[in-house]
Amino acid sequence: MQRRRTFQYIRPCTGAITAEYINRNLDAMFGAMDPSTRPRTGFSLLIDEISLEQRARYYRWDNTIGGICREHSHLAALTVDNAESIQKVAEQVREGVCHLGKEATVVAIASYSREDYHARPIIVSVTDKTEKAPAQAAWMRTLMECWDGKWEELLGPIFGFASDGDTVHRLAMHELFMGQLVDENSELWEFLGTLQGLNLQCDAKGRVADKDPKHLFKRLCTLLRSVEGILIGDVVLNRVMFAQHLLRIEGVTLEAINNLIDPSDHQNVPKAVELLEAIIRLYSEPVTDLDPTMLKGHKAIGLLAEVLHSLLTPFVDVELSLSEQVTRLSKYAHLIVPIFRRHRTSFMSNQLYADSQTMIKNIVFCIAKQKVLDAKQGTRSGFYVSQSGDDRLELSFSESRCQTHSRNHDSLELADKLSVTADIREIYNEHPEWDRGHRRLKYRKGEGVDHVNPASIKGCVLVENTDLDACWVEGKKRAKVSLVAGGFPDVDFTALFAQSNLDMLRPHGDGSHPAVAKDTDRSIIDPVEVPETLSETAPNPGETPVVLTGVPITPHVLDGPVAIELEDLLQEPEEELDEPRGHTDWLQFQGKSVHKASAIRIMFQFQWQGGLAVQINSGKKSNDRLVRVQDLAVRSYTQFNFPATLDRNNLGSNTSFCFGKLGALLIRVSTRITVGILSVTSIEVNGRRVGQIDVSDLPFTDRGMKITGQLLALRQTPADPSTSTPASWTWTNEYLRIAPFKTARTAADTITRKNMTITAPGYLIQPVNPTRVMVPDVSDTGSASVGSAITWQFSEAMLTDLPDAMWELVKNVEDILTHIPKCGDSVDLPYRNREGESMFITEAGTSLVPTQEISDEDVTCVQCHKVMKRVDIRAHVGKHILLARQNVPEEGLFEPIGRTLPCGYCGRSGTCTITLQKSTTTYQPASDCPSARSFTVSAALKGSKTTPCTNAPVLCLLCPQDPKQKERPAVWRYNMLQHICTSHANLAPPLNTPPLDVVKLTLITREEQIALGVPEARAVCDFPGPQFEAEFNGLRPDLKRKAPPDISARPKRACNGP
C-alpha cells in the first residue's frame, strides 16, 4: 500500500508557530490535490484545543525535544546535541522556566461544500494555556497569509475563522476581524448593505469570526440548568422552575427530568438538544390547572421558547430551506437584542450573546460570499448552516481517539492520529454511506447517519434562491410579534438600529462589544470536582544506580522495556525519507548507544531521589472523558449526584416548601421593618441547593437555610360594605423591582436578576396560603399588564397581623437586625394602600432600627474602636491578629484578640463562622460576622504595597472536602498554623512538616510581617528548613509577593492528617 499511496502527514510544531511550519503542513495536506478536478469553494479555518498527556517526545525530523509549550519554548534550547542538553531542558521544566503542554492547539481547514467538507489539520502546537490574544492573533494572521499566498487561487478563499467559546480565541478574532467595515463599493455590499442591524465589521478580505452552534446549545443549557437561571421580563427561570413545568408533560418521569436538568454532563449535545426541545414544547401544554405563580412563569417560558425555537430548528430540522433557516436565525438575532438590552447578563452572559450573534453574522456573510463566488465561476452552490463552527474539527478529535485502545495521546501521537484521520476522511469522501458519525456530536440520539450532514438535508439550500434582505426583514417581523406576545413593548428596530455605534454586536449604543467583556462567562460551567487518590511507586532499592552523563539512572530503566518504544523505531512516512538529515537518532554515553527518544523519556519522567531513579510524572491521563478534559491524571472518583431532586407527591403539599411556594418575609425598607410576599425561586441548606424542605424546618435558626425569591407586587382592593366583602390585597401579576439600600440605583430601563431577587434566612419567612381569584379590573389593581386570567388574593387582616407576629418569633435572635435583608424605599415597598399610606409595619421591630446609625459602608473595630470603611476592616483587624500572634503588645485596645482562631473581621473567637462559597469560576467568602463584607479572595491573598495584609479565608488542603458541597468551611490564613497544630497535630512544626502547598498557604513572609508592624527580631518563619527561607525572606524574584497556591486545589499526595 505504501508503494502505491502517498499518505498525508502533518508534523507537530516545535516552539513558535512560523510561516515555514505552516507552509510545510499545507503542502502535506494539499500538495497531491489536483485543483482542476474541483471547483473553487469557500473555506473555514477551525481552531480548538485537545487535552494531551504531558510527555516530552523526540521529534526526529529536526532533532528536537517536542511537547514543550510554545509560549516558553524560546527559553529552552530544544535541539538534542547530547545528554546534557536533554538534562538541562528537563531541569527547566521542573523549575517552571518552560512547561510540558497540557493541551494542543489544533487548527484545521474545511471546505463549505456538499462533498469533501471534512477538516484537514494543518497546525498541531503544544500550549500551557498562557498565550494572550495578541500573540495568538499574530500567528493566526500568518496562517491566513500563507493560505492567501498560494492556495486561495488554487482552491478558494477563506471565509472566516471558527472556534468554540474559548476566551483567548474570541479576543484574538476580535482583533483580527473587527478592524474595518464592508466597503460600500464591494460586491458584498450589494447583499449585506441593506440588512439593518447586522454588524458589518470584518478584515480587509471580508473575513469574519464564527462560533460553533453545538457549543451555543450546550452553553444555553448550562444557564437554564443553573440555580441563578435567566431573567425574562420580571421572571427568574431556573432549573427548579423548569423541573416543575416539565412535570406537566404527559409521560415524563421525575428520573427523566432530573437527567435533563442535571448539569454534570454539560458536554452532551443530544441531552442539550432534548432539553431545549422540551422547553419549546412546554408552551403548547395546557394551562388550565396552573396556579397564578406557575401561569406567570409559563408566559415567560413562552418567550424563551420562541428564542430557542428560532435558534435550534435551523440546525436540526432537515426539511427547512436555506431561506427559512436564515429567516429563523434573523428572528433570533432580533429577539435577543431588546431582551439583552433590558436584562444584560441576567438574561445571558456577554460572551454567549456575542457568540450567538457572531455565528449568525458569519452565516449571512458566507451566503453573500458564496453568491459572489458563484457569479464569478458560473456555479450553482448550496450553503449548509450545519458546517458553521468547529464541529468538523471535533469530529477529527473523536476519530483520533477511536483509532486504538489508547484514547489519549501526547503531541507526537496526536499529529500521527490526525494524519490518519485525514486519510480516513478521504475514504469517507468516496464512500459516505460508511460514515456513521459519533454519538456525542450528534444533535439527537440514535446510532444512524448524522442528521446534519449535507446528504441528509431535504430543503433547498441553493444560495441563488435565498434573498437575504427578504429573509432578514421577515425574521424581524416575526421577532416583533413574539416580543409583544411575551410582554415586551413594541420595538421599533428601524429607529433602534439607526443610532450610531449600535448594532447586534454592539447592542447598548455606546460602541462597546459584549464579546470583549471581562466579566465571568457563567454559560461555561466549572468541571465537577474530583477527589484525588494518586499513588507513587519506586524501583527496587536493591539495584545499583549508574550515572548517564550526570543524570542518575538505574540500569533497568535504561535497558528494560520502558527504555525504548516500538513507535520510536518506526520508519518515518515516505515523504520524509528524502529530506536530508544531518543528525543521528542515537547518542553515546559510557560506550553505550542510547536512543534519543529513550533518553528524553527517562530524563523527563524520572528524578534522582535517595540513590534511585523515581518516576515523578508518567504524563498519563484518565480515559474518562469528563475527567480528561479537566487536565486530570488517572484517578478514582465519586459519582456526581444532582442534589435538587423533586418529589411529585409533595409539590402541592402544605407540609413542603419548594419553588413557587409563597411566604411572608420580614424585610427592612430603609429604617422600617415590614413584610413582603415572597415567591420562592431557590432553597439552600448549609451551602447545598435542594429542591424542597419541610415547612416545619423553617423556624430553626441553626439549620443553615437560605431562601431566595421574588417579591410580589400587591394592590389594595378596598372593603365593599354593600356585599360585606372585607378589604384584600391582590397580586398584579408582576414582581417588584427591589431598590438598592443606600447605593446607586440602576438605570430605569435595566432589570437584572440582582434587583429582582432577594435572599434571607429561612427563619425570617412564614408560609402563607392566599386565595386563587379571577383577575380584577385593571383599574382596580393598578397594573398595566395583567399576565394571566387568575391571580392571588391576600386578606388584609392577615397581612396586618403578620409583621408583629413574625417579629415576636425572631426578636431574640442575636443581632437580628444584621440578618434581616435590606432594601431602599420605593413606590411599591412598603406596600401602600389607596391613600398612599405605608402598610404592614412592625413598630416593635422598627423601634430598634437606629435613626442615626453608622453608614452601612462604615464599621467599628472591636479592638480599638476606630471607625472605618467596611472595605478596610479585614486588613485592619488582620494587623491586630498578626501582632497578637507574634506577641507584639498594642496600647489602648478595648478588647484583646481572641486566643483561638479569631475571626478576620472582628478578631473575636468562637462567635463567627467563615466559609467559602463556590461560584462559577472562583470562591467567595461568606460569614455571619456583623462586620463582614465581600471581597476578592485571590487579590487579598496577593496583598499589595498599600494593603500588605494577606489574611483571607482559604480551604485547608489537609481537611477532607465534600466535592458536592457548594459552601465549604474555611480557615483564615493567619490562623492556619494554629489550625494545623490543633487539627493535624501529626504534621505540625517543628517536629513535622506539612506538604509544601500547605506550607506556602500558611507561610507569612518577613516583608509582610515587618510592613504590618512586627519588629524584625520577631519576624520569624514558622517552618524550619532552608527550603522555606527563600520564600519567607522574599529573596527570590519569582517568589516575592507570590500568591499562595490556589485555594481550590487539592494536595497531589495523600496526607496522613485527619
Q: Which three cell numbers stand for residue 94?
A: 521542573
Distance CA 458, CA 438 (A): 21
Is the pLDDT assigned to residue 193 strictly greater than 90?
A: yes
Give dist(CA 42, CA 366) in Å, integer: 8
Among the residue ranges 365-369, 494-498, 531-535, 645-649, the one predicted with the least confidence is: 531-535
Q: Residue 547 pLDDT more than 60?
A: no
Residues 871-900: tens digit of each pLDDT: 899 999 999 999 999 999 998 888 899 989
Segment 535-542 shows an average pLDDT of 35
Across the range 462-479, mean pLDDT stands at 97
Mean pLDDT of 194-202: 97
What Rg do the C-alpha atoms of the chain give, in angstroms? 32
Instruction: Decide: helix, strand or coil at residue 202.
Output: strand
- Report whether pLDDT(855) > 70: no
Most confident of 23-32, 198-207, 422-431: 198-207
How far apart CA 704 and CA 706 sit, in angstroms, is 7
Q: Which of 196-210, 361-375, 485-499, 959-973 bottoms out in mean pLDDT, i.e. has the lowest?
A: 959-973
Phi and psi dihedrals of 132, rounded to 5?
-95, 165
Query: Long-range CB contacts (< 8 A, 24+ apart) of 28-35?
Result: 28/575, 29/109, 29/120, 29/121, 29/122, 29/422, 30/120, 30/151, 30/154, 30/155, 32/6, 32/8, 33/155, 35/154, 35/155
Please list, in sequence order, all residues whose beta carbon lies within 8 angstroms of the beta carbon of residue 285, skipping any fewer than 6 positions away. 248, 249
Stretch among 19-23, 611-615, 893-897 having the lowest mean pLDDT: 611-615
Pairing relation of β-strands 546-548 and 235-237?
A: unpaired
Confidence band for 557, pLDDT divided at 50, 70 and 90: very low
Cβ-in-10-Å burial (0-12, 13-18, 19+) of 776 comes to middle
pLDDT at 894: 87
Least confident range from 366-375, 391-400, 619-628: namely 619-628
Cα angle value 926/695/291 (rounded, 5°)? 105
Q: Give 621's DSSP letter.
A: B
* Cα distances (Å, whole numbers) of residue 371 to 37, 115, 376, 630, 782: 21, 18, 9, 43, 55
pLDDT-derived band of residue 171, with 50, 70 and 90 as boundaries?
very high
Exposed e or buried b per residue across 873-910, where buried means at least 16 C-beta atoms within 10 angstroms of its C-beta: bbbbbbbbbbbbbbebeeeebeeebbeebbbbbbbbee
- Give the list of residues 6+ apart from residue 119 with CB closer than 8 angstroms, or none: 46, 108, 109, 110, 392, 393, 395, 396, 425
**814 DSSP 8-state letter:** T
- Is residue 163 within 8 A of residue 187, CB to CB? The reply is no
Tell me if 107 sits within 8 A of 46, measured CB to CB.
yes
- CA dihedral in degrees (340, 345, 350, 351; nearest 10)? -120
Cβ atoms 254, 240 nearer than 8 A: no
Beta strands 662-669 and 822-823: pairing type? Answer: parallel
Distance CA 92, CA 98 (A): 6
Q: Is the pLDDT of residue 202 over 70?
A: yes
- The C-alpha cell 449535507 sits at 454
Alpha carbon distance 595, 756 (integer Å): 67
* Residue appearing with cell numbers 429604617: 671
- pLDDT category at 537 given cuts 50, 70, 90 is very low
CA 689 to chain centre: 19
Q: What is the pLDDT of residue 780?
A: 44
Position 324 confidence tier, pLDDT thresholds 50, 70, 90: very high
Say how far apart CA 294 and CA 286 lie, in whole Å: 12
Give mean pLDDT, residues 668-674: 91
- How many beta carbons lie within 10 A of that of residue 1015, not counting itself? 10
Mean pLDDT of the chain: 83
Whether residue 1047 has pLDDT greater than 70: no
**Cα 681–687–692 angle (5° rounding)?**
40
∠ CA 890-892-896 to the nearest 5 degrees? 65
Region of poorest pLDDT, from 72-86, 240-254, 602-616, 673-687: 602-616
Q: What is the pTM of this model?
A: 0.78
**Residues present in the chain in total:** 1058
pLDDT at residue 644 greater than cutoff 50: no
Nearest to 177 by CA among 163, 195, 193: 163
Q: Is the pLDDT of residue 652 over 90?
A: no
Distance from CA of residue 183 to its chain's centroid? 37
The three grid cell numbers given for residue 657, joined into one nine-digit string: 416548601
Enumerate the domain spans of the chain: 213-361+461-516, 655-846, 858-1033
Please state whether the peptide bond connecting residue 740 to the residue before it is cis, i.e. omega within 30 degrees of 0: no
Largest CA distance in the chain: 115
Question: Bridge partners of 666?
Answer: 675
Residue 469 vs residues 186, 191, 197, 564: alpha-carbon distances, Å: 17, 7, 12, 63
pLDDT value at 1039 more than 60: no
More confident residue, 454 or 169: 169
